[in-house]
Structure 1
């Protein structure tokens, strides 16, 4: 007797629930040879040729480690630190599951943003503090979770008990403590809170913690630093060590962190945070000019990098919460969009004589750790764009006076930093030597010479005047640790921004007599930071920060006073804002005393700890209840999984092993599954059997992102061997046959840039094709095609989504393949011979409550949607006669977006479906309600 079987297809789509990230997994080409420096605190791993960077990081970590342990705890476990030199992004992180750290080695151009210290130094002093945090937060309840679930268990325990503002605030305090700079000394770092205070924005604590879709809210970095530094200053160095130890140990089931603060400070957390923020508010107590907007005005948008066309016309970059970045031209009060901006790492651009030039971001086709900065030229009148360079790493390009040459900063993969002069065809005309080991930022032409803000390895900055022909460099300012950025040249003057005291101010330097001036006016004095100056014949423009975004200001040149500065040094010191704890202890200013310990550089074996199980991860997605042991090596080239799954619908138990190797051009995958108590039917009576599956395959993930569109294409094939094991009397050649089939698939997605409030991209497409075909002489096929197409709605953040799907299998269902068809909402599904569906849905935001409850649940947005779906199915009755049915439904849904415990995003939905046809496969009535709870702590 023949039994109809449904086979659960557990292949590559299932594998990629193993936390594989398209931005990281298998992201480096196999040609990279890895080296290492192995110390007790850290194994620093880096590409061959980056020895100096690897040794420097190891030296800093070794010097800093024991000297700052006392303020967080003495536990130590070695971490692997990977130095990534293929990417143009400036970033770093430390993570559990697995325990590792990565440094992205390209420095940022903006010295105000992260400081001017050597980038490897900044990463080491900041990120290694996170290592110490994780090592010492493995206590009590968090340690118990680690014992049960591995590193992922500790990660959950730490995130439940230690707020993200402490993780980052403590790390920023460390970078400020052990160096002569650090963000805690930079006025720029505090601009967000200064803007809120100046505008009288008294947001609730939960809004400050969770952000908003309608108002500007600073992130948790400055908040964290203010609270951490105040705690260190007020209650001493051991304060946070004691607080975090008790909190991570779950000393107090509810709000253990707040409980610990009260225990060690004597005041409750509400009072503590009020005191801390109030202290810093007093540090910036200077009067501010009232913003020329309504009192209850929400975020307007960021206006950045102004450039004059003439005295009445200005161009700038504009970004809002409703629309991605665009170039805008404004004449008097009339604004016109020139063009949307390509994907970019920052919003910098240069303008000259009808042309805008900037760097566009483009990822590599295959290797996700490799990306590029390509120079793009935009015609202001026509909106036409030209890609000047391809597969290059250029930053901050600028045009010369006749618009025929470009100067740009090149940051090579080997860490070398140079200025290149290029023609409009992208060819390098001249490479300027860099004999002093400088880092160049924001270069500009001054006749045939180059003006650039420069950073020395120790973080000191100046303005350099460079002769490209000879390489001779004249430093126009005395080097100091105060950041300098955004130089612009007008006639014989160079204008720039620099940190001075508690504010960032505009300065001007005469190139003819080398006199230095600070620019002063009522507006400049009251602005929160003064950046990105632009000069025309009779006007000056600059950017300052407000509670409504970066705003461009203009003033007549006659209204600006020029205060001459004696000498060639930027006045003032970097402030500590009264935090004397920064000047106490043996680690103060430690970075300046780090010496080369000459650690040995050895080869790093790519197979080291290749199978590295780190987390036991539960995943409960009804009807499947899974627990899996996850593994991942340090280089992120192999991910493995041992799993057990219980399926509530059939009651079967499944044991599986799967692995994916991503270091080659295609991903290679393999695995085996054994399933006990599969369920089939014989004349509606259940029959149970076991099933064995082997599977292996390959996948090619490609990234075609360019311009303003993110595009990905992935295709692959798997071969699957399946064998069923029946007991008598069903153990026969038909039921217990072997099935070998190919699973071929293509996945394509393309989407336009999205703004913060956009529910979906304005234009996007996702298409998936899947074809399964038996290859061992059995007629067993199944084809599936799905597509989703996104279009603009009636208003800015509305979206219309058209979806379609088609599936057809062999008439006899010989393959018993799983039913992956997205059935019409509300109906019970059935795997029919032929299924088709067409649907339309309309999505829109309703409210932005910005409201929270008991410091645990925060609601930032409520969004709605309506839909209509039509489906049709064809099949055959057991007597061979045709079966046809329609399935139509309509309905609506509400989704609630926010965060739990101030840092876990959630989206909870309620969906109502009205069935317009009979549900012939189960269920009663025409009204169906579903609750959607896509929440995961791992």
Structure 2
């Protein structure tokens, strides 16, 4: 009877949760020693040994808090930041409910998107801007909803009024304006937009806002950067502060953000802002292209792919054969061979966060991700080798933090970047056979290192060093460690070195478009430009006089080539990187590069941080009004996200206004996850009365005290994600009923079970996993009286590939047994054949066949209310057998079959430009009528929450 309340709560919280990065509950290894720095603007909780980095974060944020608020507002609130260093996945977020932030400290290996800024510096500037956005959005109605429901409501209302492109575009402007680098100065950041302009493709604001399953679109980062840059340049740098304040106060209930833009500018609203900013950006891009002498390239494949595809790191084996990585909107990562225009798959590439690939001596090397099964915030980057001669693949290392593996010319060694959990960066050499480290090079200033490549004689390793916001390509002698700088230090991006006998080729952003450049290996630091393309050229590879690389287009990263033309036309470029053609007012008015102004002598109070309930705070007290169930929900979590407290109380209007109470404490710091729960609620069940030989409806009050111990485990292996959780739960039930029905007023029950799933990861267009298996099994029973409550349940689902890449076959089998003669019955969550209401039964078994397929990608919406991204269908057939064992039941009712077929049509829509909800209709046709009368065939409205997965 509480499903409506639960669904409403899920929808209300969806906005606040879907915008945050992944949060790992109980993700830290047990025994991790934490410390905390307290300062006026921020508290930084960090692992012992990371004090310099934590102090740097605190200094940058306090400087911004005091000096860089003019375009955002003056409201203040201290933020808690947890610095994660056990993860190898770079990320960061600011979340509401609870109001906190996490920095995932391991930097990305690629320099393309972030440029030359230090990783923690970027996070500090960018994420603290999100902090200021959120606290300054707490106005008017937003403030009212905060007091009504806490931080979850704060998040919901914020995100309903402020578009996601505002959050990220404004933060990118800030990181660019307050540094000499930042994404706003990287041509890679605007890659998608410039590709569309180069091919004369224009998409509507609604399509850009909501995305597409079929077409390549810039995400909300460059979209917001473009729109807000136009706004600042034409209407003053600080206009966005007034728009933020008025829109979040809901000054104009319908489209408040758009109306605030209209009040402060001569624009008609958000769509007009998009149109004008897009036209201006197009004009600047076209002018840039008109002033660029292009060099023609030849595509490797004559036909463009039908779906958006990314090829990376093409390797020329000979004149006719190329090996490369590939992924697309309908396929996950794989290794492919392209020979004479024909493409064949070599092998799959597992879960990873970097697309680096190296080749030598018939060996290919890349990295794949694994993780601590129990601790999601501790994961690894291991090296995988593939032998083209034997077609054998092996994982060379386990539980390591290695990146950018490059195979030596003789195939016996691998150069890697090793990043420790204390953010120590080292260049190392591994043995190809054993995976053991043979040599580690000194890095006395602990500069960030990225990418590796060997010289052809095997005597030197090329890598990229980052120091003080600058990048440099260097050569390191493997015998004596002597370092030779090959390029000048630059704030432009440098990426992916490829070495020939006399030169090193790499892609860089020197002249405003990413292209392939070269320099000699002697250290002259003279730079030659090798390619000149419209949008961007990356990842060079050379065979004889052929230069091959990936080139970006509206269809993704495709493989192109051109002849190497010997020349010595050395380029000159501007430092620092200004990107004048796309410059912003913010760059002159926000305060300039603050990273040179930070006082490195400032210190803050530091102390140990420990305690199970340390930092526990109630963040949500969500009042949920409803015609059926009204409730208040209290939610709390501690700062390390391994203890949660939840409490709810309300009135069930469907049960004579019965009052219910639910509460639990979940502790996930230890290896098992422990849950203490208590609830009191009204129940209603149907049971078979053995005295009157009739079916009776029973209302009673139930108090339940529970203790659950489970071990949630997750593995990454290759392309599969496997989850396994065994659990055991004990419950003390106290029952109260005006009639003398129950044999016992109190009894103790157990619930033992396990859940298991293993899925092949999916690509964007895949409706479901093409391979996988899931099982949930549980046994619930009274310890002493098997007739009082006894339920066994098992559900299994097998996932198989369909005819097409985006088709999916699901076969679901289930079994449940619980006698109607049991006076007390556990809640029934069984999924019965579609078209039938839940039938009376002592035992039920069923099988279901589902075939999912996409029908269309409309990319159509209106008024910012609804946007249609995909229409898909599910063809199903359900078969079930229900049994009643009582002697009081007529023989023809004892065994009933339930047989139906039908179609579900689902619309994967986005509502209000924020809420992704799948809803549609189901038509069920009964192949056999149920004699008990529980038939509900015909049309039915369905949400994704009540699909039979």
TM tier, smaller: over 0.9
Contact 1:724 1:735 in 2 (8 A): no
- Counterparts of 1:607 and 1:203 in 2: how far apart (Å)? 51
Output one character per residue of 1:265-311: Cα deviation in whole Å (capped at 9) or x when no partner. Answer: 12212332222222222221115779989999864411111111112
The corresponding residue for 2:540 is: 533
The corresponding residue for 2:588 is: 584
Going from structure 1 to structure 2, the CA distance change for 1:148 and 1:482 (only over 3 Å counts) comes to same
Output one character per residue of 1:799-841: Cα deviation in whole Å (capped at 9) or x when no partner. Answer: 1111100111357325411212211112111352111001111
The corresponding residue for 1:56 is: 56
Going from structure 1 to structure 2, the CA distance change for 1:543 and 1:495 (only over 3 Å counts) comes to same
How many angstroms does 1:488 deviate by? 0.8
Contact 1:766 1:789 in 2 (8 A): yes
Output one character per residue of 1:781-802: Cα deviation in whole Å (capped at 9) or x when no partner. Answer: 2211111111111111111111
Query: Is 1:548 paired with 2:555?
Result: yes
Going from structure 1 to structure 2, the CA distance change for 1:880 and 1:825 (only over 3 Å counts) comes to closer
User: SS at the partner of 1:222?
Assistant: helix
- Counterparts of 2:904 and 2:411 in 1: how far apart (Å)? 55
Q: Let me know the Cα RMSD of the aligned residues.
A: 2.8
Which residue of 749, 762, 768 maps to 1:754? 762
Which residue of 324, 335, 338 maps to 2:343? 335
The corresponding residue for 2:705 is: 694
How many angstroms does 1:650 deviate by? 5.2
The corresponding residue for 2:868 is: 859
With 177-186 and 592-601 compared, the bigger mean Cα shift is at 592-601
- Counterparts of 2:816 and 2:846 in 1: how far apart (Å)? 9
The corresponding residue for 1:438 is: 447
Query: Is 1:813 paired with 2:822?
Result: yes
- Counterparts of 1:572 and 1:595 in 2: how far apart (Å)? 22
Going from structure 1 to structure 2, the CA distance change for 1:439 and 1:813 (only over 3 Å counts) comes to same
- Counterparts of 2:417 and 2:172 in 1: how far apart (Å)? 28
With 285-294 and 888-897 compared, the bigger mean Cα shift is at 285-294
Output one character per residue of 1:692-723: Cα deviation in whole Å (capped at 9) or x when no partner. Answer: 11011111011122111111111101101101
How many angstroms does 1:30 deviate by? 2.0
How many angstroms does 1:224 deviate by? 0.5
How many angstroms does 1:480 deviate by? 1.8
How many angstroms does 1:141 deviate by? 1.1
Going from structure 1 to structure 2, the CA distance change for 1:626 and 1:920 (only over 3 Å counts) comes to farther
Contact 1:761 1:790 in 2 (8 A): yes
Which residue of 635, 640, 645 maps to 2:640? 635
Going from structure 1 to structure 2, the CA distance change for 1:69 and 1:920 (only over 3 Å counts) comes to farther
Contact 1:440 1:452 in 2 (8 A): no
Q: Mind listing any 5+ residue stretches in structure 2 that lack a counterpart?
A: none
The corresponding residue for 1:307 is: 315
The corresponding residue for 2:484 is: 474
Contact 1:317 1:326 in 2 (8 A): yes
With 433-442 and 392-401 compared, the bigger mean Cα shift is at 433-442
Q: How many residues align?
A: 917
User: SS at the partner of 1:577?
Assistant: helix
Query: Is 1:79 paired with 2:79?
Result: yes
How many angstroms does 1:348 deviate by? 1.3
Contact 1:695 1:721 in 2 (8 A): yes
Going from structure 1 to structure 2, the CA distance change for 1:445 and 1:351 (only over 3 Å counts) comes to same
- Counterparts of 1:89 and 1:923 in 2: how far apart (Å)? 51
Going from structure 1 to structure 2, the CA distance change for 1:229 and 1:273 (only over 3 Å counts) comes to same
- Counterparts of 2:234 and 2:944 in 1: how far apart (Å)? 43
The corresponding residue for 2:752 is: 744
The corresponding residue for 2:27 is: 27
Going from structure 1 to structure 2, the CA distance change for 1:761 and 1:346 (only over 3 Å counts) comes to same
- Counterparts of 1:352 and 1:154 in 2: how far apart (Å)? 55
The corresponding residue for 2:604 is: 599
Going from structure 1 to structure 2, the CA distance change for 1:908 and 1:80 (only over 3 Å counts) comes to same
- Counterparts of 1:570 and 1:506 in 2: how far apart (Å)? 17
How many angstroms does 1:624 deviate by? 6.7
The corresponding residue for 2:282 is: 281
How many angstroms does 1:656 deviate by? 1.0
Q: Mind listing any 5+ residue stretches in structure 1 that lack a counterpart?
A: 1-5
The corresponding residue for 1:100 is: 100
Query: Is 1:663 paired with 2:669?
Result: yes
Which residue of 564, 568, 573 maps to 2:570? 564
- Counterparts of 1:296 and 1:906 in 2: how far apart (Å)? 32
User: SS at the partner of 2:611?
Assistant: coil
- Counterparts of 2:820 and 2:940 in 1: how far apart (Å)? 33
How many angstroms does 1:57 deviate by? 0.3
Output one character per residue of 1:230-288: Cα deviation in whole Å (capped at 9) or x when no partner. Answer: 21221112200000111111111111111000100122123322222222222211157
Contact 1:41 1:79 in 2 (8 A): yes
The corresponding residue for 2:808 is: 799
- Counterparts of 1:803 and 1:436 in 2: how far apart (Å)? 58
How many angstroms does 1:914 deviate by? 1.2
With 853-862 and 388-397 compared, the bigger mean Cα shift is at 853-862
- Counterparts of 1:588 and 1:82 in 2: how far apart (Å)? 28
Q: TM-score, normalised by structure 2?
A: 0.92
The corresponding residue for 1:892 is: 903
Going from structure 1 to structure 2, the CA distance change for 1:527 and 1:353 (only over 3 Å counts) comes to farther
The corresponding residue for 2:399 is: 391
Output one character per residue of 1:535-590: Cα deviation in whole Å (capped at 9) or x when no partner. Answer: 111211011211110111112224x6552347xx8888431435352343462111
- Counterparts of 2:297 and 2:932 in 1: how far apart (Å)? 66
The corresponding residue for 2:378 is: 370
User: SS at the partner of 1:591?
Assistant: coil
- Counterparts of 1:464 and 1:829 in 2: how far apart (Å)? 70
With 602-611 and 836-845 compared, the bigger mean Cα shift is at 602-611
How many angstroms does 1:855 deviate by? 2.3
Going from structure 1 to structure 2, the CA distance change for 1:386 and 1:656 (only over 3 Å counts) comes to same
Q: TM-score, normalised by structure 1?
A: 0.93
- Counterparts of 1:921 and 1:150 in 2: how far apart (Å)? 48
Contact 2:854 2:870 in 1 (8 A): yes
User: SS at the partner of 2:569?
Assistant: strand
Contact 1:375 1:387 in 2 (8 A): yes
- Counterparts of 1:383 and 1:649 in 2: how far apart (Å)? 64
Contact 1:501 1:574 in 2 (8 A): no
- Counterparts of 1:881 and 1:715 in 2: how far apart (Å)? 41
User: SS at the partner of 1:748?
Assistant: strand
Contact 1:95 1:101 in 2 (8 A): yes
